[in-house]
């Protein structure tokens, strides 16, 4: 328990607010995407500038108070929050500006992607960032883990478009790190912060991002849903066809229940494709014509700006306060084999909850043009990234065990078809997570961690260097889902 006089001193030193249980805004500050997370920190430091961040961080270290950093609050495991410690909350830090000449945006890390989309739309420049398909995802967590966008095949990962980071480093200093950094330590941090995952190497307070003029002002994008009975036919075709797609075309995927258009109360199992073409609609329609030929439930195609599509479509996968457990896996090219499709359809048609869904990201293109060791993001050669979300009502915690076990089992079934997992879909039940998330880059991440944060001030159960490793047995011990720190 921190004596009150010290908390009062911190309160006076901060320009922002220090919230405790019972204060207006405290409960609100704990609302994150995954409603399964029920963690109540001792204090929430609502920072309004980098000095507040450094002050709160130094206080936590001095008083040996465990802390976590909160950006957009979309951590699958809720690692932005913690029980009893301090949350360093950045959500009030939303300044941003565009340098039109350089096509660079500077933004503080309390921004979510939607904030940046709306900001850039208001400039009437047509410029787009390489951001999240979901508009409410925070920029910092997304960026620090790599960041895969609908247009990553055209422009690379989000981190490939990152120019600098203002970072409160584990020694409490505020530094700007970039490709121009001179010291060994700053160069190491620059490497590690591009794919090494949030919460590991410091607190990012601002980013400079390269923004792009897309090939055409609007893009062909939309959703196609086929009855699940056609999954082998549709995905068997997709598996081969997609290898010939130009970098300007990404076709994501979906499995889950949808309402029949004429009978909205009737939910049916579907497989879906989500094309996004960075180019004009006529050309895009020609390119995607082959996937329109299968019997479908609906085809909704649009010609709109990418940010409009991201804002309009992107809430498809939010948990929005319901309870969720997430597993993921990267896949090599041509991995949608008949046996893989059987695993997916078999699992998705027997999901205990009708809200659960599976999506996959289409990678390749410019993502592969950076080497696996140039940044901490290891899975450059993956073609797809699948993600299953078991989603059940927040009001029914008794359904947790069954739903978690279901998604876990799906993950086991997909193991032979997967080549690692995504640290941004962080999964506290994943056996051998360092290798799965970081591959051969993990040893270098550990070396950098020891060098810049020898006392492991930045720690949580899946932080770089943590000894935590679930045993991989089925059914899994679910206790790690309900904590941030290793006990």
Ligand X SMILES: Cc1cc2nc3c(=O)[nH]c(=O)nc-3n(C[C@H](O)[C@H](O)[C@H](O)COP(=O)(O)OP(=O)(O)OC[C@H]3O[C@@H](n4cnc5c(N)ncnc54)[C@H](O)[C@@H]3O)c2cc1C
Torsion of Cα atoms, 98 then 103 then 107 then 112, to 10°:
100
* Size, binding site for ligand X by CB under 6 A: 33
Q: Please report whether residue 196 would count as binding ligand X according to CB under 6 A.
A: no
Q: How far is the CB of 469 from ligand X (least distance, A)?
A: 18
| Per-residue tokens: 260 | 């029949």
The neighbour count for residue 290, using CB atoms within 10 Å, is: 12
Q: How far is the CB of 31 from ligand X (least distance, A)?
A: 12
Q: How far is the CB of 222 from ligand X (least distance, A)?
A: 17
Q: Please report whether residue 69 would count as binding ligand X according to CB under 6 A.
A: yes
User: Judged by CB under 6 A, which stretch of 68-76, 206-214, 344-352, 363-371 contacts ligand X?
Assistant: 68-76
Q: How far is the CB of 450 from ligand X (least distance, A)?
A: 18
User: Judged by CB under 6 A, which stretch of 2-10, 65-73, 117-125, 348-356 contacts ligand X?
Assistant: 65-73
* DSSP strands (E only) in 183-322: 203-210, 219-227, 249-260, 263-277, 298-304
Q: How far is the CB of 273 from ligand X (least distance, A)?
A: 16
Which of 351, 348, 344, 354 has its CA nearest to residue 266?
354
Q: What residues between 238 and 277 interact with ligand X by CB under 6 A?
A: none
Half-sphere exposure (Cβ direction) of 459: Cα atoms closer than 13 Å: 19
Of the candidate residues 42, 195, 198, 434, the single one contacting ligand X (CB under 6 A): 198
Q: Please report whether residue 151 would count as binding ligand X according to CB under 6 A.
A: no
User: Judged by CB under 6 A, which stretch of 6-14, 62-70, 169-177, 224-232 contacts ligand X?
Assistant: 62-70
Q: Please report whether residue 68 would count as binding ligand X according to CB under 6 A.
A: yes
Q: How far is the CB of 378 from ligand X (least distance, A)?
A: 14
User: Judged by CB under 6 A, which stretch of 58-66, 144-152, 241-249, 292-300 contacts ligand X?
Assistant: 144-152
Of the candidate residues 44, 56, 60, 80, the single one contacting ligand X (CB under 6 A): 80
Q: How far is the CB of 413 from ligand X (least distance, A)?
A: 22
CB 170 within 8 A of CB 453: yes
User: Judged by CB under 6 A, which stretch of 94-102, 131-139, 174-182, 430-438 contacts ligand X?
Assistant: 131-139
Q: Please report whether residue 170 would count as binding ligand X according to CB under 6 A.
A: no
CA distance 463 to 289: 45
Q: What residues between 357 and 416 interact with ligand X by CB under 6 A?
A: none
Of the candidate residues 134, 228, 340, 348, the single one contacting ligand X (CB under 6 A): 134
Q: What residues between 96 and 125 interact with ligand X by CB under 6 A?
A: 109
Return the percent helix, strand and coil in the chain, to nearest 5.
35, 25, 40
> Phi and psi of 163, rounded to 5°?
-105, -30
Residues 6+ apart with CB under 8 A from 107: 94, 95, 96, 97, 115, 116, 139, 206, 207, 209
- Rank residues 207 and 238 by Cβ distance to ligand X and give the closer one: 207
User: Judged by CB under 6 A, which stretch of 56-64, 128-136, 242-250, 330-338 contacts ligand X?
Assistant: 128-136
Q: In Å, what is the CA distance from 450 to each residue of 60, 196, 197, 454, 460? A: 20, 14, 16, 5, 15
CA distance 252 to 150: 8
Q: At what angle do helices 50-62 and 4-13 cross, to 10 degrees?
A: 160
The site map against ligand X for 33-52 (x = CB under 6 A) is x-------------------
Of the candidate residues 42, 50, 73, 196, the single one contacting ligand X (CB under 6 A): 73
CA distance 136 to 132: 8
Q: How far is the CB of 418 from ligand X (least distance, A)?
A: 17
User: Judged by CB under 6 A, which stretch of 1-9, 139-147, 233-241, 397-405 contacts ligand X?
Assistant: 139-147
Q: How far is the CB of 38 from ligand X (least distance, A)?
A: 15
- Rank residues 29 and 345 by Cβ distance to ligand X and give the closer one: 29
CB 247 within 8 A of CB 291: no
Query: What is 365-383 written as a DSSP string?
Result: GGGGGS-TTTSS---TT-S
Cis peptide bond upstream of 475, omega within 30? yes
CB 469 within 8 A of CB 442: no
Strand order in the sheet with 323-331: 298-304, 219-227, 263-277, 249-260, 357-362, 384-392, 323-331
Q: What residues between 291 and 350 interact with ligand X by CB under 6 A?
A: 317-318
Q: How far is the CB of 69 from ligand X (least distance, A)?
A: 4
Binding residues (CB under 6 A) for ligand X: these are 33, 68-76, 79-80, 90, 109, 132-134, 137-138, 140-142, 144-145, 147-148, 198-199, 203-204, 317-318, 424
């Amino acid at each position: 328990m921190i004596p009150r006089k010290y908390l009062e001193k911190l309160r006076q030193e901060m320009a922002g607010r220090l919230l405790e249980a019972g204060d207006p805004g405290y409960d609100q500050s704990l609302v994150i995407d995954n409603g399964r997370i029920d963690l109540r920190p001792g204090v929430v430091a609502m920072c309004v500038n980098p000095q507040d961040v450094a002050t709160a961080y130094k206080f936590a270290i001095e008083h040996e108070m465990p802390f976590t950093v909160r950006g957009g609050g979309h951590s699958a495991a809720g690692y932005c929050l913690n029980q009893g410690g301090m949350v360093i909350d950045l959500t009030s830090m939303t300044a941003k500006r565009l340098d039109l000449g350089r096509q660079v945006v500077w933004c503080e890390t309390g921004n979510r992607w939607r904030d940046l989309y709306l900001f850039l739309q208001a400039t009437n420049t047509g410029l787009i960032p390489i951001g999240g398909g979901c508009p409410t995802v925070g920029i910092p967590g997304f960026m620090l883990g790599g960041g895969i966008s609908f247009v990553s095949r055209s422009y690379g990962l989000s981190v490939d478009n990152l120019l600098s980071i203002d970072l409160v480093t584990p020694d409490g200093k505020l530094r700007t790190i970039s490709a121009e950094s001179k010291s060994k330590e700053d160069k190491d941090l620059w490497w590690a912060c591009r794919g090494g995952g949030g919460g590991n190497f410091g607190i990012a307070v601002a980013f400079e991002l390269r923004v792009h003029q897309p090939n055409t002002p609007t893009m062909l994008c939309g959703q196609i849903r086929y009855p699940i009975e056609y999954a082998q036919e549709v995905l068997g075709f997709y598996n081969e066809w997609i290898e010939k797609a130009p970098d300007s075309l990404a076709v994501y995927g979906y499995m889950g229940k949808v309402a029949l258009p004429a009978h909205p109360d009737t939910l049916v199992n579907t497989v879906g494709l989500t094309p996004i073409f960075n180019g004009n609609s006529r050309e895009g329609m020609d390119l995607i014509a082959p996937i329109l030929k299968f019997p479908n439930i609906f085809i909704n195609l649009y010609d709109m700006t990418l940010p409009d599509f991201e804002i309009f479509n992107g809430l498809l996968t939010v948990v929005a306060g319901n309870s969720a457990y997430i597993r993921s896996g990267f896949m090599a090219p041509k991995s949608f084999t008949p046996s893989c499709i059987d695993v997916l359809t078999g699992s998705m048609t027997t999901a205990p909850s009708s809200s659960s869904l599976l999506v996959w990201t289409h990678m390749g293109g410019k993502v592969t043009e950076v080497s696996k060791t140039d940044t901490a993001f290891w899975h450059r050669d993956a073609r797809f990234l699948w993600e299953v979300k078991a989603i059940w009502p927040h009001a029914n915690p008794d359904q947790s065990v069954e739903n978690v076990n279901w998604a876990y089992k799906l993950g086991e079934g997909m193991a032979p078809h997967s080549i690692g997992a995504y640290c941004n879909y962080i999964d506290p039940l994943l056996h051998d997570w360092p290798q799965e998330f970081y591959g051969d880059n993990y040893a270098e991440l550990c070396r950098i961690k020891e060098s810049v944060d020898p006392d492991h001030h930045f720690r949580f159960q899946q932080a770089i260097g943590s000894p935590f490793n679930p045993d991989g047995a089925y059914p899994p011990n679910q206790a790690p889902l309900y904590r941030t720190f290793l006990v």
